[in-house]
Every structure is written in C-alpha cells, then in structure tokens.
Amino acid sequence: MIPLRDDQPTFSTPFVNYFLIIANVAIFLWEYSLELQSHRALNAVIREFGVIPSRAVDALTGHSHAGIEAAILPLFTSMFLHGSFLHVGGNMLALWIFGDNVEDYLGHFNYLVFYFVSGVAGGLTHILLNLNSTLPTVGASGAIAGVMGAYFILYPKARVLTWFFVFILWLPAWLVLGYWFFLQFVMTSQYASSGVAVWAHLGGFAVGALLVKLFPERQHRHRYGTW
C-alpha cells in the first residue's frame, strides 16, 4: 500500500512540516553531491552522524573514549540523513500526507517537539533491540512513524487515496496505517539484522500513538480558515 493523499482538512499552514521536508531534501541532495565526489566521504558522514547501537552502548557504559554526546547526538542528526532517493522520497511523501494534520492539531511548536521525541524514541528502540550492531542507521522513519501513529489515533476514519497493486482506492486511515504497522512487525525477523531499522518504525509509531493525546490540542484551531 502506497498512500498518495488524504481527505482530512487542515485549518492552518503547516510551516514546521514544510521546514522538515525542505531540510531533509536539502541535506539528502548534499549527501548525493558528496557521494558523487567521494563515496568514502559519504560513508564517513553516515558513520559519524548515523545511529550505531554498539557505539551508543559503549559511550553510555563508559567503554569508549567518546563522551555521552556520541550516544545522544546521532539520535537527532540521523533523522536528517537518508540512504537513497527512494528512502527520502518515501519518507517525505508520508510526512507530506500525514504531518500537516498532526501539526494542525498540536500547533507548530508542540508538533516540532513531538516529531523529535518520536524520532528519538524510534532510535532508542532500535538501539535496545540491536545492542551489538555496528551498522549505522539513518533516516527520519522513526519520527515519521510517530506522526503516522498520531494520525492513526486522531483521524482513524479519514480516507487515504492508496495505490494498492494495480488499484487506486480510497481506504480508511486506520486500515492503511494499521497495515503498515503490521507489515513492519512481520519484517522484524527478516530485516532487523540488516541495518533496516524496522524496530525504530515500530517504536516511533507506538510512542506517537501513545504520546499525541498527552499534548493539548491547539486552541481555537477551527476558527482558522484552510490555507
């Protein structure tokens, strides 16, 4: 299932969502230009700013000369790095479809906080379930999974235009997002040890679904017109 767009209206301009999409795309284009110059240089960036579970564990337990920032900083920087055009394209499509509604509900600042908390939660889930892995993991998937989890709770009956094999169908959001979550769970045994952070997806989604109702709904949001 590939979501194309939704029919849930918004009542404000999603400035933060726009910023996140632009930032992710701009940084990926920088990565791509770096790869054209030197694949080794790109690998060095990925290893420096990606999440490496074993490195994080060593930093937190004092078995590394690196400070605690070696465990914490990559949880944030990895959210803005991607491995391919398909990777960044899929993530940004999901953020474009679902992020504006979640930002509309939470408000700009709370949405930004929510996004980063979900992303960090996804990264920590990946670390906890892959403690000995030396593979770097990058991508905004954990944070975006949190946004999807929030949308699942807030707008389960919204319709999502979905490309399903050869069909393009309007499907309820709870089905599209629930199927995605189930698929991530099924893939844990196949991809978890390959560097694909499926546990980060699951952790981000679960935290987003649980956390969104702890944030207050933006006051008077229905008084604003749709931009």
* Mean pLDDT of the residues in the chain: 90
Number of domains in the chain: 1
Q: How would residue 223 be classed by pLDDT, with cut points 50, 70 and 90?
A: low
Do residues 91 and 141 touch, judged by C-beta distance below 8 A? Answer: yes
pLDDT digits (tens, 9 = 90+) for 167-202: 999 999 999 999 999 998 888 766 655 557 888 999
Contact 90, 184 (CB under 8 A): no
CATH of the domain at 142: 1.20.1540.10
Q: How far apart are the first and last CA of the chain?
A: 28
Query: Taking CA 43 as the corner, what is the angle to CA 47 and CA 185, rounded to the nearest 5 degrees?
Result: 60
The β-bridge relationship of strands 159-164 and 2-6 is antiparallel
Would you call 152 helix, strand, or coil by DSSP?
helix
What's the mean pLDDT in 2-25?
A: 96
Structural domain of residue 129, as residue ranges?
2-223
Distance CA 207, CA 149 (A): 8
What pLDDT sits at residue 195? 57
3-class SS of residue 161: strand
Q: How does pLDDT run across 54-71, given as a tens digit for each residue?
A: 999 988 887 777 778 888
Alpha-carbon gap, residue 69 to 168, rounded angstroms: 46
Both tokens assigned to 101? 């509604």
Q: Which two tokens stand for residue 138?
A: 């990058």
